[in-house]
Amino acid sequence: QRERAREGRQREKTAAAAREERASRQERAAGEKDRQQEKRAAREMGRERERQEGSKEEKEREEGSETDRDKSAAKEG
């Protein structure tokens, strides 16, 4: 009878350890998933920033060329 009780406690310890390990593994997986999402969001933000800076540079170039045209027209005029 004592032997059976000891085996039961041992089985319960093993089951508890397995549950804890499973929970820990799930937590790590969730953390990894969060990190992946953060990386993805950061990449998207970077792309959006590049897009905005690119369009800003494009506008500045266009404005600059308009200024050059104005200067040329003034010289000719």
What is the total count of domains within the chain?
1
Amino acid sitting at position 69 = R
pTM for this entry: 0.48
- pLDDT category, 56, cuts 50, 70, 90? confident
Who wins on pLDDT, 62 or 29? 29
Q: How far apart are CA 75 and CA 77, in angstroms?
A: 5
Measured distance CA(74)–CA(71) in Å, rounded:
5
Q: Which residue segment(s) compose the domain that 29 sits in?
A: 1-76
How far is residue 2 from each of residues 9, 10, 46, 63, measured CA to CA in Å? 11, 12, 66, 91
- Residue with more model confidence, 24 or 65: 24
Tokens of 48: 């959006």
Predicted pLDDT of residue 53: 86
